[in-house]
Amino acid sequence: MKKTALFIIDVQNDFCENGALAVPDGTAVVPVCNRLIQMAAERGCPVLASRDWHPANHCSFKDFGGPWPMHCVAGQNGAEFHPDLQLPVDVMVFNKGTDANAEAYSAFDGTQAAGVLHDAGIERLIICGLATDYCVKASVLDALQAGFDVLVVSDGCRAVNVNPDDGEKAFAEMEAAGAAVLPLAKVEF
């Protein structure tokens, strides 16, 4: 079996219930992520987690000409991981979107994630988190580009769905690019 890591994308307060950019039903990914974390631990697989980590004047915010309400401001409660997410003590955290003048949906954009994973001999990623149609999709496509096998956990993701089928379209795009998309019940590490 290929050496595998779990990569949890942006499971942060602002994307969950009552958050500044709440993803519909976003909090529902937390127990799925926790089960995946448990499975990773059983197999000795590393766990990575990304955070949207914006300066207060980020270009993606409406006040600065972007499409989104202010969210995930570095150091604020909204940018913290959801309190019920049971990350292991040795989780590797990657902050993204830290440059005020650049959007960075992908967890590989401007981070050390690809290098760290390659150096650790990881060949395969299991990916879950928020949001399907933005940061999960961008991260999955970048992971494939970087040469990883990718399995996306469908029920471990939720979409913003600006258009109602954006989440489904995103899964289709990820599959077309070479990712496997499977529910938790079918995931094997």
Of 26, 27, 45, 52, which one interacts with Zn ion (CB under 5 A)? 52
Report the alpha-carbon distance of residue 182 to residue 106 in Å, rounded.
20
Are 5 and 117 contacting, i.e. CB atoms less than 8 angstroms apart? yes
Q: Which does 130 bind (CB under 5 to 8 A by kind): Zn ion, ligand VGL, none?
A: ligand VGL
Residue 143 main-chain phi, psi, to 5 deg: -65, -40
Site of interaction with ligand VGL (CB under 6 A): 10, 15, 52, 60, 68, 105, 130-131, 134-135
Residue 98 exposed, middle or buried by CB count within 10 Å (0-12, 13-18, 19+): middle
Q: Which does 135 bind (CB under 5 to 8 A by kind): ligand VGL, Zn ion, none?
A: ligand VGL
Q: Which does 134 bind (CB under 5 to 8 A by kind): ligand VGL, Zn ion, none?
A: ligand VGL
Nearer to ligand VGL, 86 or 161 (CB): 161
Are 75 and 52 contacting, i.e. CB atoms less than 8 angstroms apart? no
So which residues are the catalytic ones?
10, 96, 135
